[in-house]
Structure 1
């Protein structure tokens, strides 16, 4: 029997009234809000690059467990179900973690990082995969593994951002070059259009010049043929 029902039964058996039942309901709501606040706090404190940590799951769990876990936690901390102002941020982070783990490629990259962290820890401690400490890890080893996973994920994220920055810079240079080439072609077209638009004017001016030249030449010729008396 659920705890609430047991308490309600005890209150009724002891002759408790409406006030005591209402107090019991208020206590239950307070406990529920405490659980919501605690889960919201846990999610926001979890290392956000580790989707398993955000969902509070162990690496390698099946997809069905991921779905069940997400469904329970999302219902618990949904912004519509609590007045906690940090609920939206926690809910978004929870959703992002679930999406990442449900994506085969993203989950594979995360699993690879976690495996790399384990191997680094084994080497640092001069152990082997057959060492008892590795085969049956205690709480201390698991915590050290988690810390090493954080280091690996941070390092991978730094490299990813560096590569992205270099890629964006290269794309920026290529875009700048393309823009410059486009501008050159644009100016060339504008020059050709302007040249074509003034073509008739230039031809007309040349014709006028030739016509005036002919007229001037005829007058000079007539003057030379004039006989002086």
Structure 2
């Protein structure tokens, strides 16, 4: 019989490999959460780590894989809920036809601005086959365009809210004026009988009795 003692579970190959796999998976989760939070949130493609022009099926597939990876119930990372929320909003934005069209337009505008700055044309090799440096500059220009667009949107919304506020105040003033008019007409109607009675008395020569003032005697 062998006197060799059984290897502790903590030192077995299976246990070590499982621990490494678990640690690696947690690292992947943390890395993806960190990537999402660092991505420019106005660019839904960047949040999902996708290239513009991808079909809807790829967007859904990408979202499903990443959402399963970083789901708050699947990791203890405290930033998971925020990252998960950004991921969901990015997918919703890209699957919205109008929202995606606006984003694509901003990306195209950024490309055009970059081409003008560098005096390039669509036939330029740098544009036809963009290298890493051009793509990086394009992304930075896209951020600028998206920020400008967001500022315009907020300014427009603020002006709209102010206009709605003025319209609401005008409506409230009109309602108050109508209320005052109704109250005046109501009081006028309520005093109608009194006015008619006074007029009849006047016609009959019946003036209201006046109290005689007492004359104080001097001395």
Unaligned runs of 5+ in 1: 1-14, 217-229
| Structure 1 residues 172 and 214: alpha-carbon distance in aligned structure 2, compared to 1, 3 A threshold | closer
Quote how far apart the aligned CAs of 1:43 are: 0.7
Runs in 1 of length 4+ with deviation above 4 angstroms?
Answer: 204-212
SS for the counterpart of 1:79 is: coil
> Can you list the C-alpha shifts for 1:154-202, whole angstroms capped at 9, x where unaligned?
0111111111111211221122111111111111111112222333344
Return the alpha-carbon distance in structure 1 between the equivalents of residues 35 and 202 of structure 2: 91
Counterpart in the other structure of 1:18:
9
Counterpart in the other structure of 1:41:
34
Return the alpha-carbon distance in structure 2 between the equivalents of residues 41 and 112 of structure 1: 28
Counterpart in the other structure of 1:171:
164
Quote how far apart the aligned CAs of 1:211 are: 6.0
Unaligned runs of 5+ in 2: 1-5, 210-219
Counterpart in the other structure of 2:133:
140
Given that 2:201 and 2:207 are in contact with CA atoms closer than 8 Å, whether structure 1 keeps it comes out as no
Return the alpha-carbon distance in structure 2 between the equivalents of residues 18 and 214 of structure 1: 118
| Structure 1 residues 29 and 202: alpha-carbon distance in aligned structure 2, compared to 1, 3 A threshold | farther
> Can you list the C-alpha shifts for 1:62-82, whole angstroms capped at 9, x where unaligned?
111101000000111111111
- Return the index of the structure with the highest Cα Rg: 1
Quote how far apart the aligned CAs of 1:26 are: 2.6
Return the alpha-carbon distance in structure 1 between the equivalents of residues 208 and 141 of structure 2: 99
Return the alpha-carbon distance in structure 2 between the equivalents of residues 104 and 136 of structure 1: 28
| Structure 1 residues 131 and 213: alpha-carbon distance in aligned structure 2, compared to 1, 3 A threshold | same
Aligned length: 202
| Structure 1 residues 76 and 191: alpha-carbon distance in aligned structure 2, compared to 1, 3 A threshold | same
> Can you list the C-alpha shifts for 1:63-106, whole angstroms capped at 9, x where unaligned?
11101000000111111111111111111110110001001111
Return the alpha-carbon distance in structure 2 between the equivalents of residues 202 and 44 of structure 1: 78
Quote how far apart the aligned CAs of 1:207 are: 4.8
RMSD: 2.1
Counterpart in the other structure of 1:121:
114
| Structure 1 residues 214 and 183: alpha-carbon distance in aligned structure 2, compared to 1, 3 A threshold | closer
